[in-house]
Amino acid sequence: MSNKRGNGSGLNAIERRAAYSLSGLFSLRMLGLFLILPVFSLYAEGLPDVTPLLVGIAIGIYGLTQALLQIPFGMLSDRIGRKPVLIGGLLVFAFGSVVAATSETIYGIILGRALQGSGAIAAVIMALAADLSREQRRLRMMAIIGISIGFAFAVALILGPILNSWIGVPGIFWLTAVLALCGVAIVLFVVPTPKESHFHRDAEAVPSQFGKVLADPELLRLDLGILTLHMTLTAMFLAYPLSLRDLGMASESHWQIYLPVMLLSMVMMVPFVIIAESRRRMRPVFLGGIAALGLAAALLYGFSQQLLVLVVGLFIFFTAFNLLEATLPSLIAKSAPGERKGTAMGVYSSSQFIGAFLGGALGGWIHTYFGNEGVFLLCGVMALVWLLIARGMPDPSYLSNYLLPVGKLDESEVARLAAKLMAIDGVDDAVIIAEDEVAYLKVDLQVVDQQVLDDYAVGEVH
C-alpha cells in the first residue's frame, strides 16, 4: 500500500466554499423557522378559535415533520443526488411559508408550519458537506456549519420582534418564503457540486445500526437531554413574550431584552466550554448547565411579575441553553463508536426536533389551565427530571473521532493497518470498514500526533 498525503493543514478552497455556502443555506432555513418564535404567541391571540394548545402546536409542529422526514430525505439524496433533494426541500419549505402567510386561522398556520418542517434538508446538507470534504477535515467543516446554526437562532430572536413591528407575522412568513428561494439560488449557483456522492457512515444514518444506537444507555441519556432542552425552549417562548406584554412592554420593544441577553449569554458560556473541553471537566460543567436551566425556570415561575427578574432569568436560561447546546453534540461524538457516529447523530437530531414539538404541545396544554407560571414550572420540572437522569452519566472519554481514507484493502491489509494505527500513541480504537475505504479512529487529540496519522492517508480527496 502506497501512502500519499493529500490533506493540508486547513480547509482547501473547495472545502471553504462548501462550508460557508452550506452554512448560509442552513442559516436561512433556521431563520425561517425561528423568526416567529418570540412573537407568535402574541400574534395568535387575535386569531379566531385559537387556544393555547393550538398555539403551541403551531409553534412546534415543524419539529414533528422534520423528525419524521430528515433521515428518509438523507437516504433519498444517496439515490437521486444531494442538490435535487435540497431544492425540493427548500421549495416545500417556501410553499409552507406561503400557506402560513395567507392563512387567517390557526389551523392554516399549523398546516403551513408542518409543511415548513417537511422541507427536511438538515441531513442532506450534512451528507453534501461530507461529499465536499476530505475525511480528516470533515469535523472542521461540520463545526463551521454548527456555529452558523447558533448564530441564526440568536439573530432570529432579535430580528423577530423588530420585523413584527414592520411587517407583522404574515409578513415574516412571506419573508421566510423569500429566504427559502434565496436558498435555492445558493444551491444552484454557490454550493459546489461534488465529483461524486456516496454514503458516509460518519455523517449519515445506517438503518441496520439503529438497534445498537437505541440500545446504548449513554446515547439514550444524551438523546433525552437534547429532547428536554428543546422542549423547554419551545415551551418557554409560549409564555415569555406574554409575560413581558403583561408587564406593559410593547412587543416591538422585546428585542431590547433579547439582544443584550443573547450577546451576554453567548460570551458567558465560552469559559465554561473551555473548562469542559480543555480542562476535561465536562461532567460537572454539563450537570451545572442543567441545574442552571432549572434555576432560570424557578426564577421565572416565582417572580414572573418583576421585569428585572424576568431579564435575569432569561439570561441564566440562555447561558445554560447555549452551553448545553454546544456540549451535547460533543458528548454524542465522544460516546458513539466512530463507525456509528452518523447514526447516533441522526437519532440525536430527530430527538431534538421531537422535543420542539412536544414542548409546544405540552406547553400549550399546560398554559390552558395554569397560565404563564404553569409553563415556567413545567420547564423547571423537566430540567429537574433531566438532572436526576444525567447524574448517572460517567465522565466522558475525551476521545475524538478521526477519519482516514485508506483506499482499497483486503482482509489481511485491514488487520495489519488496524494494528499499526492502534500502536500510535493517543489512538484508543481503530475500526476499518473495507467497503468505505475509511479508518474510523477514536483518538486523544492532546496526545496523538495528527501528522503521524495523516501519513497513513491514501489518495487525494477532492
- pLDDT (tens digit, 9 = 90+) per residue, 67-85? 999 999 999 999 999 999 9
Total residue count of the chain as it appears in this document: 462
Q: Check residue 459 and give its pLDDT.
A: 58
CATH 1.20.1250.20 domain extents, the chain: 1-194, 217-398
Whole-angstrom Cα distance, residue 196 to residue 461? 11
Q: Check residue 386 and give its pLDDT.
A: 98
The pLDDT > 90 percentage for the chain reads 81
Q: Check residue 348 and give its pLDDT.
A: 96
pLDDT tens readout for residues 394-448: 998 888 889 899 999 988 899 999 999 999 999 999 999 988 889 999 999 889 9
pLDDT tens readout for residues 183-239: 999 999 999 999 888 889 988 999 999 999 999 999 999 999 999 999 999 999 999
Topology given in CATH for the domain delimited by 400-454: Alpha-Beta Plaits (3.30.70)
Q: Check residue 4 and give its pLDDT.
A: 37
CATH 3.30.70.100 domain extents, the chain: 400-454
Q: What is the CATH number of domain 217-398?
A: 1.20.1250.20
Split at pLDDT 50, 70, 90, the class of 7 is: very low
Q: What is the pTM of this model?
A: 0.93
CATH class in words for 1-194:
mainly alpha
Average pLDDT, the chain: 93
